[in-house]
Amino acid sequence: MTATPASPSSDKRVLLAAPRGYCAGVDRAVIAVEKALEQYGSPIYVRHEIVHNKYVVQTLEKKGAIFVDETAEVPEGSIVMFSAHGVAPTVHQEAAERRLATIDATCPLVTKVHKEAVRFANEDYDILLIGHEGHEEVIGTSGEAPDHITLVDGPDDVENVTVRDDSKVVWLSQTTLSVDETMETVDKLKEKFPKLISPPSDDICYATQNRQTAVKQMGAEADLVVVVGSKNSSNSVRLVEVALGAGAKDAHLVDFADEIDEAWLEGVSTVGVTSGASVPEVLVEGVLEWLAQRGFEDVEIVKAAEESITFSLPKELRRDLRAEAAALGENR
């Protein structure tokens, strides 16, 4: 099918979510790999995808990053970076045993959940961790207190949950879940364990929440929502679900514009566009261009929140960058 040019009376429009794309944790992790490559040279090993996005991973590979599944694959004495999703303490131990220099790019908001898990485990709570089985973040958080944590994978899993003492139970969650589904799970858990206590502050992070709020606002008006993101990106997959839940007639996840199926546009006048927290804006621009070529040139922003959060680089990297800057200063 060929692209349809826009007509002056076209009712075709795009609703573009704001905020969308990179969150502070992803931005920091990607910059950390780039700075590490500049500072130490190639290769820099990265355990697991630094963030769940195909394009980002491919781009960093071209610059000299090597992605591995396990620390055991990293040659002794090399530099390894841990991804934004966080790792269990056993992974730090393995790295130390292999004499690896580590750079920990775990998002500070994931670290916050790790610390909560450790604190509640030290106080001998049973911790009900709401999250998706097998997700890297859940594996990392569970590893902080394996004897105290039980995974609850959504509302349907609640009936299987047992605890040692129902007067000492707390729930925590993965940072990238659907806010509404998580609250449904929490409500069911509270019915079962009325003394269940909540985390001191939201575990689902600001970026996940804001992207879901924006997609909800556009959902009811959209015939189609295109979410830019990778299939292994939890927060991106949630955006598709939230869009459909908010009333969008159709919603799809694509890594790149060329994955959009022309057939999705049949009878469509309003297309919502958003992107997951690990998606660079260039990929959204590609989708907007693809849509514009098919008459969807009119773009309206649907703004749900302002974001100004930033995180400083991992401490190991900051230390070495500072040392190099100081050495350069002395040599001047």
Active site residues: 137
Asked if 81 touches ligand SF4 (CB under 6 A), the answer is no
How many residues at the interface with ligand SF4, by CB under 6 A? 15
CB of 57: closest distance to ligand SF4 in angstroms? 15
Asked if 207 touches ligand SF4 (CB under 6 A), the answer is yes
How many residues in total does the chain contain? 332
Asked if 302 touches ligand SF4 (CB under 6 A), the answer is no
CB of 187: closest distance to ligand SF4 in angstroms? 23
Asked if 109 touches ligand SF4 (CB under 6 A), the answer is yes
* Alpha-carbon span 55 to 256, nearest angstrom: 9
Asked if 277 touches ligand SF4 (CB under 6 A), the answer is yes
CB of 35: closest distance to ligand SF4 in angstroms? 17
**Nearest to 83, CA basis, from 38, 124, 32:** 32
Asked if 210 touches ligand SF4 (CB under 6 A), the answer is no
Asked if 235 touches ligand SF4 (CB under 6 A), the answer is yes
CB of 300: closest distance to ligand SF4 in angstroms? 25
CB of 102: closest distance to ligand SF4 in angstroms? 18
Choice between 176 and 212, CB closer to ligand SF4: 176
Sequence-distant (≥ 6) Cβ neighbours of residue 37 within 8 angstroms:
44, 63, 64, 65
Sequence-distant (≥ 6) Cβ neighbours of residue 277 within 8 angstroms:
21, 22, 23, 25, 26, 176, 207, 208, 211, 233, 235, 236
* Alpha-carbon span 172 to 80, nearest angstrom: 29
The H or E element spanning position 45 is strand 44-47
User: Binders of ligand SF4 among 12-41, rule CB under 6 A?
Assistant: 23-26
Helices (H) and strands (E) in the chain, counts: 10, 12
Asked if 176 touches ligand SF4 (CB under 6 A), the answer is yes
- Which residue of the chain is nearest ligand SF4 when measured via CB? 25
User: Residue 22 in contact with residue 52, Cβ under 8 Å?
Assistant: no
Asked if 71 touches ligand SF4 (CB under 6 A), the answer is no
CB of 328: closest distance to ligand SF4 in angstroms? 32
Angle between helices 24-40 and 54-63 (to 10 degrees): 10
> Rounded to 5, what percent of the chain is helix, strand, coil?
45, 15, 40
Mapped onto helix, strand or coil, the DSSP state of residue 85 is coil
Asked if 175 touches ligand SF4 (CB under 6 A), the answer is yes
CB of 206: closest distance to ligand SF4 in angstroms? 7
Q: Which amino acid is at 250?
A: D
Choice between 221 and 307, CB closer to ligand SF4: 307
Contact range with ligand SF4 by CB under 6 A, out of 7-15, 67-75, 205-213, 319-327: 205-213
β-sheet bridge partners, residue 209: none
Q: 55 vs 239, 256, 258, 324, CA distance in Å?
A: 19, 9, 13, 31
* Alpha-carbon span 328 to 332, nearest angstrom: 6
Choice between 265 and 284, CB closer to ligand SF4: 284
Asked if 107 touches ligand SF4 (CB under 6 A), the answer is yes
Asked if 208 touches ligand SF4 (CB under 6 A), the answer is yes
Footprint on this chain of ligand SF4 (rule: CB under 6 A): 23-26, 84, 107, 109-110, 175-176, 205, 207-208, 235, 277
